[in-house]
Structure 1
Amino acid sequence: MNAAPTNPTKGKRLGRPPATDSGDTRRRILDIARAAFATGGYDASTNRELAAEVGITAGALYHYFGSKLDLYLAVHGDVQALVYGRFTEAVERVDGFFNKFEAVLDTAHKLNRQDPTLAAFVGVVRSDMRRHPEINAALRTDAERRDGFFVRLVDIGVADGEIAKADRLFVIEFIRIVLIGLTDGVSHDTTRHKRAVTSIKRVMRGGLLAVPHN
């Protein structure tokens, strides 16, 4: 009896995938690359290493993303679309600056609990932009667009009388610092992240650092 034919592809990484697998493979590449970049930044992994983790050849990876920079920028775009899509949905459900910003904080915590690599990657991007001029040039417009999202929230507060017009720029800077702290400082620990979110809410509502009356 002749031996059963062996599978010549068994144990080998995939080359260029069929069209039916293309979307799933691209999604897997983005997820694995996000986790790798979130841990060590842009310089931590090569495309060859990322391809091996995905289970494809380096050549197949280049079928999806022409360079490591292209992959990094695609991960960034994917993260921003997810995070700010959720933020937009959250703020549209409530009225007023305080309610909207608290909705953003709650959404940020939920996302961080579901996948800590999201916030970790956002934090790494700030460092990578300082170290790599090509990343800074590619993402500068996106950073300005993100700032614009929160500036609009502050302007809603000014228009509604929740924020004094003279305090507008101070509130904008407060928000920037708060968001940096959440992503860079406590995103790795969901308990501390939740505590940080609660403390920010209490500070904003005047319930944490109010001057005690003697």
Structure 2
Amino acid sequence: MKRKSSHTAPDKTIGRPVGSKREDTIARILDSALACFTSHGYASTKFKDIAVGANITSAAIYQYFDSKPALYIAVVDHIYQDIYPRFQQAIESSTRLKERIRNLVEAMVSLHEQSPLKSGFLSSIPLETQRHETLKEIFSHRENEMRALQARIFEDAIKNGEINPEWKVDNLVMMFFGSMSGMANYQLSVEGTSLRQAADIYLSMMELHLLR
């Protein structure tokens, strides 16, 4: 008489669903994490909330991301993979600051219209890194290609004599990208507002007072 095995069949609900690929599961986790981080903030986001949106268990997330900071950074990188080529194309399409700024604004507004969650998440990064030492430490040791790309347009403009050479590049980056992020956040929270129209007004003001 054969002895009955003491092992039980594995729970099929744990981990990725049957038939799905690893990449599909990671994509669902990242999409759910993006929604949770944007809606609830870094501190209030729990793996169990992300798991619900990704249709997996909380424990299964650890098969792909060993901590919440690692998952947060993965979301950042995932978004950058999408927007970096857009920004790069906007900058390389011209050598003049005026056209570059207009192209960048169009890229940022289009991103916001296509994916408000991504826009909202990106604008929250500076605040989250100041609130949480773990994130601040991680970002301080990362090479930031996006930041270098942002700085490049103003570095080139100063060399070409298009803007005041006494203005620091870091402050120019803060002025431009900080303003766009702030407007995007405001539009998300106030009904009836239009980021596209606000951006047009902003561009008109810049061309009057900033660009030579």
Give the shorter-chain TM-score range.
0.7 to 0.9
Number of the residue aligned with 1:38 = 38
Structure 1, residues 176-204: CA drift from partner, whole Å, max 9, x if none? 43234234333556952112210121012
Number of the residue aligned with 1:4 = none
Distance 1:104 1:66, change over 3 A: same
What stretches of structure 1 move > 6 A for 4+ residues in a row?
Answer: none
Q: Work out the CA distance in 2 between the residues paired with 1:58 and 1:91.
A: 41
Q: TM-score, normalised by structure 1?
A: 0.81
Over the matched positions of the two proteins, sequence identity in percent amounts to: 24
Contact map agreement 1:90 1:104 (CA 8 A) in 2 = yes
- Look up the SS of the partner of 1:31 in the other structure: helix
**More helix by percentage:** 1
Contact map agreement 1:109 1:193 (CA 8 A) in 2 = yes
Contact map agreement 1:87 1:107 (CA 8 A) in 2 = yes
**2:195 pairs with 189, 193, 196, which one?**
193
Contact map agreement 1:16 1:63 (CA 8 A) in 2 = no
Contact map agreement 1:28 1:54 (CA 8 A) in 2 = yes
Number of the residue aligned with 2:120 = 120
Matched, 1:177 2:186: no
Distance 1:83 1:175, change over 3 A: same
Q: Work out the CA distance in 1 between the residues paired with 2:53 and 2:112.
A: 23
Contact map agreement 1:98 1:157 (CA 8 A) in 2 = no
Contact map agreement 1:91 1:104 (CA 8 A) in 2 = yes
Matched, 1:56 2:56: yes
1:206 shift after superposition: 1.1
Q: Work out the CA distance in 1 between the residues paired with 2:19 and 2:93.
A: 39
Letter in 1 for 2:95: D
Contact map agreement 1:34 1:75 (CA 8 A) in 2 = yes
* Number of residue pairs aligned between Structure 1 and Structure 2: 199
Q: Work out the CA distance in 2 between the residues paired with 1:9 and 1:54.
A: 20
1:107 shift after superposition: 0.3
Distance 1:79 1:111, change over 3 A: same
Distance 1:19 1:71, change over 3 A: farther
Contact map agreement 1:187 1:193 (CA 8 A) in 2 = no
Distance 1:190 1:24, change over 3 A: farther
Aligned alpha-carbon RMSD (Å): 2.7
Higher alpha-carbon deviation: 146-155 or 34-43: 146-155
For structure 2, the residue ranges without an aligned partner over 5 or more in a row are 1-8
Number of the residue aligned with 2:85 = 85
Distance 1:190 1:119, change over 3 A: farther
Letter in 1 for 2:58: A
- Look up the SS of the partner of 1:119 in the other structure: helix
Number of the residue aligned with 2:205 = 203
Please show how residues 11-160 of structure 1 align to structure 2 within 5 Å.
13-16=13-16, 21-142=21-142, 145-160=145-160
Q: TM-score, normalised by structure 2?
A: 0.81
